């Protein structure tokens, strides 16, 4: 019966599995299901899913309008509330709504709904791929969203089918041609079907489709969404947030975990399995003459050395947007202690016994040895020098109003003395800036940096956030593009007595399909 092996003879006109499934459900509705099945049906229904989405929208809106306890400005907001508001909002969990038990429960139920709905509907979607609808009657085709009928010489079905198949392929459709016999009945005198008068008519139908995998796109979206939920959940349950202050020269194996309880922030020390030594902090400024304010900053950089008893020593540079990951801990630039300091100081030394001026540059916590063997250690930097109530050197503010570098100077064979190198505002005859260790000390220049950096730390031992957002997130983007920028397009061309009936449908982008269908019809019209 076939001339190239592609034709299939089908005697029974049957619906595709997808359409059969839908039909089957209609019949099943009349039976009363067991309570367990009904609960499952409810949990897996899209209607329930939509209700959950709407509830999430409402709760999220509440969380937006009521300032949350971990948001800056909460303290003032909380103080402005009346006792009754505090009581009601607090007992309903509105100050931390996104971590309230009912919000988590809602997300859990939504995840369950997504899983059950996917399981329930996947077989139906898969049947479009595994059992495509190869045949159709003319009346079914004429009911499709796109349909066209035109006369054609149908004496040679095979030749006509071959031409139509080529036209389909030229339009990017993969084709299958089927033949079947359709039963038709005559009519009696009253116009009703006469089942005694049966005849069999031969039909040839060409089925073309593209993008059938798109049918399961929604399920890929769901898998990605669940990956995202699960990864994020694992990260939240197994990890924590902390911060650590980094001052050049300081070493620590302790970080501070932060917990919010309404307007109280509590910190707990957590011991790291390694120690960290800060070797340098830098603040790259737009205008080096300006302040160390965030608005004048290009970047912050912290250099640390990690000493790990298990893995040895590692050096890390942590900049804004360039975190450092180590053994499940990720270190980020978070904030600074904006008290002026100097990353390096340039000293101008005037020898008391005459001779050429000496220039020397010393990094923070560093030291230098002069040509005559004098050892100079950079101990401290005060941006706005003053004496405090105890008469000790202090800073009046964090601004660079009267900067001074405090040095430890050890002359060759002499004792270590404390020296103040001022930036310029101190009179020459002031005792504090008097020459010491054979030199008059002047602070010629300095590179501004803050007193300390504060790094925030995210501990995520199972890389849950990475899996959630890189696999789940990027997967979701890809899957959504796949779902919405492509579609499953199906076109049938039925050859019957002297005419060709065409019909087609698509699961989305109906306007685009309309154009495509019209082009296919035009191409078929031209070849037949």
Partner 1 sequence: MAKEIYDSEIGRGWTTYVPAGLAIVGAFLMLGLRLQLGERFISDGALMMLALASYLFAALFQLTNLYAPSEMARRIGLWSAVAGVFFNLSSWLVRWDAAYEHEIAIMRESGNMATPWIFRYVPFANLYDLSLAFAFGAGIATLLFARRRNFQVLGAFTLPLAAIILTLARFIGNEFIDLPPVLDSYWRPIHVGVASLSYGVALVCFAIAVIYLLKDRVKVEAMAIWSSIFAIGVIGSISKFSVLTELVYRAGLFVPNPDGGKAFSAPFRLDTPYVGVALAFCALLLAGVIVSFLVYLYRENQGAKTLGHLLLKVALIAQILTVGLLVAEIRETNNVPERLRAQIAANPSQLVTAGRAMAERQQLSAREFAAITPAQHEQMGRQYLQANGDKLYLSVGTNPVEIAGLITALAGTFFVVLFAFRTDKLRERLPSLESLDSLMYKTACLAFAGLAMLLITGAIWANESWGRPWGFDSKETGALVAWLTYAAFLHTRISRGWTGRSSAYFAVLGFLLVIFTYLGVSYLLPGLHSYA
**Binding track over 318-357 against partner 1, x by CB under 8 A:** --xx-x------x-xxx-----------------------
User: Looking at beta carbons only, is 434 or 481 nearer to partner 1?
Assistant: 481
Q: How far apart are CA 381 and CA 421, in angstroms?
A: 10
Q: Give the separation between CA 69 and CA 261, rounded to whole angstroms.
A: 7
Helices (H) and strands (E) in the chain, counts: 12, 21
Q: Which of 3, 60, 130, 313 binds partner 1 (CB under 8 A)?
A: 60
**Contact call for residue 150 and partner 1 (CB under 8 A):** yes
Q: Which is nearer to partner 1, 319 or 410 (CB)?
A: 319
Residue 526 gets the label, from left (phi > 0), alpha (psi -120 to 50) or beta, of alpha
Annotate each residue in 492-511 with x if it binds partner 1 (CB under 8 A) or - if it does not, as one string: ----------------xxxx
Distance CA 82, CA 85 (A): 5
DSSP label of 283: E
Nearer to partner 1, 49 or 340 (CB): 49
Are the CB atoms for 71 and 144 separated by under 8 Å?
no
> Toward partner 1, which CB reaches closer, 387 or 484?
484
Listed residue (503, 510, 469) closest to 487, CA to CA: 510
Closest of 426, 425, 406 to residue 417, by C-alpha: 406
Task: Choose, by CB under 8 A, the member of 49, 248, 383, 423 that binds partner 1.
Answer: 49
**Site for partner 1, residues 234 to 273, rule: CB under 8 A:** 241, 263
Residue 159 lies near partner 1 (rule: CB under 8 A): no
Q: What angle do CA 496, 489, 182 make, to 5 degrees?
A: 25
What's the min distance (Å) between Cβ of 396 and partner 1? 20
Dihedral of the alpha carbons of 246, 248, 254, 258, in degrees to the nearest 10: -10
Residue of 37, 261, 271, 515 interacting with partner 1 (CB under 8 A): 515
Q: How far apart are CA 448 and CA 446, in angstroms?
A: 6
Contact 208, 173 (CB under 8 A): yes
Tell me how far, at minimum, the Cβ of 12 lies from partner 1, in Å.
31
Question: 380 and 389 in contact (C-beta within 8 Å)?
Answer: no
Which residue from 12, 192, 196, 286 is in contact with partner 1, where contact means CB under 8 A?
Answer: 286
Tell whether residue 68 is a contact of partner 1 (CB under 8 A).
yes
If you compute the radius of gyration of the chain from its CA atoms, what whole number of angstroms results?
Answer: 39
Please identify which residue in 70, 124, 277, 410 interacts with partner 1, judged by CB under 8 A: 70
Residue whose CB is less far from partner 1, 178 or 214:
214
The answer to whether residue 284 forms part of the interface with partner 1 (CB under 8 A) is: yes
Q: Which of 159, 484, 498, 527 binds partner 1 (CB under 8 A)?
A: 484
Q: How far is the CB of 483 from partner 1 (least distance, A)?
A: 8
CB of 108 to partner 1, least distance (A): 16
Tell me which residues in 114-133 interact with partner 1 (CB under 8 A).
Answer: none
Choose between 46 and 87: whose C-beta lies nearer to partner 1.
Answer: 46
Strands (E), 48-116: none
How many residues touch partner 1 under the rule CB under 8 A: the total is 80
Distance of closest approach, residue 299 Cβ to partner 1, in angstroms: 5
- By CB under 8 A, residue 311 contacts partner 1: no
- Asked if 527 interacts with partner 1 (CB under 8 A), we say no
Give me the least distance between CB of 196 and partner 1, in Å please. Answer: 38
Give 415: exposed, middle or buried? Use CB within 10 Å, 0-12, 13-18, 19+: exposed
Instruction: Please report the beta strands in 286-353, taking only residues with DSSP state E, as ranges in sequence order.
Output: 297-308, 312-319, 324-326, 329-351
Who's near 9: CB < 8 A, 6+ residues apart?
1, 2, 178, 179, 180
The pattern of x and - marking residues 77 through 96 that bind partner 1 according to CB under 8 A reads -xxx----------------
Query: CB within 8 A of 76, min separation 6: which ones?
Result: none
Which secondary-structure segment (H or E) carries 424?
Answer: none
Nearest by Cα to 97 from 69, 116, 119, 72: 69
Scanning residues 439 to 478, which ones bind partner 1 (CB under 8 A)?
456-458, 465-466, 468-470, 473-474, 476-477
Selected from 12, 28, 31, 72, the binder of partner 1 by CB under 8 A is: 72
Nearer to partner 1, 7 or 471 (CB): 471
Beta-carbon contacts of 462 under 8 Å, excluding residues fewer than 6 positions away, are 234, 235, 238, 328
15 or 106, CB closer to partner 1? 106
Q: How far is the CB of 72 from partner 1 (least distance, A)?
A: 6
Considering only 17, 18, 67, 223, the residue that binds partner 1 (CB under 8 A) is 67
Q: Which residue, 397 or 518, is less far from partner 1 as judged by CB? A: 518
Distance (Å, rounded) from C-alpha 437 to C-alpha 416? 9
Using CB under 8 A as the binding rule, the residues of this chain from 9 to 48 that contact partner 1 are: 45-47
- Residues 181-220: x where in contact with partner 1 by CB under 8 A, - otherwise, as a string: ----------------------------------------
- For residues 422 and 443, the answer to whether their CB atoms sit within 8 Å is yes
| 332 in Cβ contact with 326 (< 8 Å) | no
Residue selected from 232, 448, 488, 489 as contacting partner 1 according to rule CB under 8 A? 232
104 binds partner 1 (CB under 8 A): no
């Amino acid at each position: 019966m076939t001339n190239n092996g592609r034709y299939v003879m089908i005697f029974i006109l049957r619906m595709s599995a997808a359409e059969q499934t839908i039909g089957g459900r209609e019949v099943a509705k009349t039976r009363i299901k067991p309570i367990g099945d009904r609960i499952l049906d409810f949990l897996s229904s899209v209607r329930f899913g939509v209700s959950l989405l709407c509830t999430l929208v409402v709760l999220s809106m509440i969380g937006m309008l009521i300032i949350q306890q971990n948001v800056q400005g909460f303290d003032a907001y909380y103080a402005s509330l009346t006792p009754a508001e505090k009581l009601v909002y607090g007992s309903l969990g509105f100050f931390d709504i996104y971590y309230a038990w009912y919000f988590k429960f809602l997300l859990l139920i939504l995840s369950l709904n997504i899983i059950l709905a996917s399981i329930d509907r996947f077989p139906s979607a898969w049947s479009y791929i595994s059992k495509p609808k190869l045949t159709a009657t003319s009346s079914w085709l004429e009911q499709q969203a796109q349909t066209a009928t035109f006369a054609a010489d149908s004496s040679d079905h095979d030749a006509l089918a071959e031409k139509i198949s080529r036209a389909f392929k030229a339009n990017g459709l993969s084709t299958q041609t089927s033949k079947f016999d359709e039963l038709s009945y005559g009519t009696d005198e009253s116009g009703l079907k006469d089942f005694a008068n049966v005849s069999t008519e031969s039909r040839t139908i060409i089925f073309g489709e593209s993008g059938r995998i798109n049918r399961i796109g929604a399920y890929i979206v769901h898998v990605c969404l669940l990956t995202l939920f699960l990864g994020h959940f694992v990260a939240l349950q197994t990890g924590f947030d902390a911060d650590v202050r980094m001052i050049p020269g300081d070493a620590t194996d302790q970080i501070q975990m932060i917990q919010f309880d309404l307007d109280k922030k509590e910190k707990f020390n957590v011991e790291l399995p390694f120690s960290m030594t800060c070797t340098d902090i830098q603040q790259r400024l737009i205008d080096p003459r300006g302040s160390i304010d965030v608005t004048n900053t290009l970047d912050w950089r912290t250099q640390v050395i990690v000493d790990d008893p298990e893995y040895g020593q590692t050096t890390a540079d942590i900049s804004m947007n360039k975190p450092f990951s180590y053994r499940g801990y990720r270190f980020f630039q978070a904030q600074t202690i904006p008290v002026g300091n100097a990353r390096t100081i340039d000293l101008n030394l005037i020898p008391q016994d005459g001779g050429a001026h000496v220039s020397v540059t010393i990094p923070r916590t560093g030291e230098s040895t002069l040509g005559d063997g004098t050892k100079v250690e950079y101990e401290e930097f005060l941006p706005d020098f003053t004496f405090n109530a105890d008469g000790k050197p202090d800073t009046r503010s964090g601004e660079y109003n009267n900067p001074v570098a405090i040095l430890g100077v050890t002359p060759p064979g002499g004792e270590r003395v404390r020296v103040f190198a001022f930036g310029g505002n101190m009179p020459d005859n002031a005792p504090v800036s008097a020459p010491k260790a054979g030199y008059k000390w002047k602070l010629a220049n300095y590179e501004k940096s803050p007193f300390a950096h504060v790094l925030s730390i995210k501990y995520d031992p199972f890389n849950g956030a990475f899996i959630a957002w890189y696999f789940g997130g990027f997967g979701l983007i890809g899957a959504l593009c796949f779902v919405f920028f492509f579609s499953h397009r199906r076109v049938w061309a039925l050859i019957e007595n002297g005419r060709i009936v065409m019909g087609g449908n698509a699961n989305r982008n109906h306007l685009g399909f309309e154009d495509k269908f019209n082009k296919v019809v035009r191409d078929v019209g031209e070849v037949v």
